[in-house]
Amino acid sequence: MISIIISSVDQMALARVKANIDQTIGVAYEIIAIENAKGERGICEVYNLGMKQSKYDLVCFMHEDVEIHTLKWGEIVGAIFAANPRLGLIGVAGSQYKSLTPSGWHCYGIDAPQIQYYHIIQQYKFSAKEEDLAYSNPENVNLAKVVCIDGVWFCMSREAALFYPFDEQLLKGFHGYDLDLALGINQRYDVAVTFEVLLTHFSEGNFNAKWLREILKVHAKWSKYLPINLARLPHNKIFNEEKRAFRNIIERMWVEQFELREMFNIVWDSRKSKLMSFGLSLKLYWQVVKYVLKSRPSS
């Protein structure tokens, strides 16, 4: 039995996904859809409210712009949790490495395809790309232990959900909640990607400056624990990739008109990480200074 919680902004999309769930889930369920079309509540607040209203021992949080293709996926999810007592959270996309450099679950800027695990049919709303089956499973497993997951669809045990609620005090908008959640659940439970549930996501998301600002909040909170390296990437690989990724994010922040204070802060907020040596921090601060001396691009 599964409680399904949805932050709804589109009544037609909600009706479609409700019908899809009913046709595919295969177990007793409840849907708690909280109307939020005007965006008056952040997604963390909405999900915490839905959690308080839920009654079953498994809780699924999902976007409404999806279509699940796997029949009896509720039985599959129940069996996964039953077979893995330490498991707290599963999704359909995630990474075995979480960078110290600010990023989402995908660790953009880190050139290490072996860290990525995902199985999802992706459509595109903000670009002209064709639909594609996004698949990466380096170890060819049904269940891959990861550090973080994508928020499009994920299921939790009630115990794990109560252990680490969504941080609605930190995150007031609609981004960063999945990264923060996975890092929090990882403090006590396992997090994994399942390859036994397939869905289509009708939007790729919009990774704009607003998204990045929420990610920066999450990183300031968790940076002393980062990077987390379940993929066992060698130290020299990590150091070189992180240095390059930091330079890329500093450049992006400069182009997108972030304040210089914010650019300095991404280095400062990482100071407690074992990876952030004195020498690396000086190089990154100097990178920011070089942008200070340049003219801003026109917005």
> pLDDT of 46-99, one tens digit each?
999 999 999 999 999 999 999 999 999 999 999 999 999 999 999 999 999 999
pTM here is 0.94
pLDDT of residue 297: 66
- Distance CA(292)–CA(273), nearest Å, equals 25
Amino acid identity of residue 241, one-letter, is E
- Distance CA(175)–CA(167), nearest Å, equals 11
- Distance CA(172)–CA(166), nearest Å, equals 11
Residue 62 vs residues 77, 195, 295: alpha-carbon distances, Å: 14, 17, 43
Q: What angle do CA 106, 8, 107 make, to 5 degrees?
A: 5
Q: Are 219 and 212 in contact (CB under 8 A)?
A: no
For the chain, domains (ranges, CATH) are 2-213 (3.90.550.10)
Range with the lowest mean pLDDT among 18-22, 87-91, 268-272, 292-296?
292-296
> pLDDT of 141-159, one tens digit each?
999 999 999 999 999 999 9
Q: Which residues pair with 201 in a beta bridge?
A: 66, 122
**Residue in the block written with tokens 């170890």:** 139
